Structure 1
């Protein structure tokens, strides 16, 4: 496993961020990316209420982030048929591809650090 210093880790984050900005027109905030990763890396179901609790933010914060990610085709939302008060967040193919490309970019930039 690659051991990084704090400076190297920040350099990796910087390189990945720069490449992401250059290669992809979707400009996600750090909060939006954290929500997207939670949705895709943690098994479903995901609700607005659950995401708000997990990230320690309010439901309106999650809703605004989901609005943006929905417009970008990264997630969709549906009312929970069992409990109409809940909104269930669903993954999309576009969202999965976005994160796959981001993962590939992180791997490539990480390899560039290896001597």
Structure 2
């Protein structure tokens, strides 16, 4: 199976942060992500900057505490993760991407 893709290459840290935001209940903050992943807050901030440039996450100001910023996933970030999971499944099964057709309610990944 090929792992080539037109999707951006993320570092392991960026991938871990994006997956944490997508798969764990929020709200997410820099401090919370740093504690959860056991990495320094500046490293989280740099990774979030890169993910925001790709439109994979967005930062939202906390109306109750303006010092606090919440991190949310975006549709583009979720589409990236769906594509990535397809590549992982293809590599694990030995099948190519065309053999792993989506099996959810007739939807396709063509728009993703």
TM-score, L = length of structure 2: 0.78
Gaps of 5+ in 2: 96-112
On the 8 A contact 2:56/2:74 being kept in 1, the answer is: yes
- Give the 3-state SS of the residue equivalent to 1:46 in structure 2: coil
2:6 paired residue among 18, 24, 46: 24
- 3-state SS, counterpart of residue 9 of structure 2: coil
CA contact (8 A) 2:7 2:80 kept: no
CA–CA distance in structure 1, aligned partners of residues 72 and 19 of structure 2: 13
Identify unmatched segments of 5+ residues in structure 1: 1-14
Cα root mean square deviation, aligned = 1.6
TM-score, length of structure 1 as denominator length: 0.76
Deviation at 1:25, TM superposition (A): 4.3
Q: In the TM superposition, what are the counterparts of 1:1-12 in structure 2 within 5 Å?
A: none
Taking the TM superposition and a 5 Å limit, the aligned residue runs for 1:1-115 are 19=3, 22-112=4-94
Count, aligned residues? 95
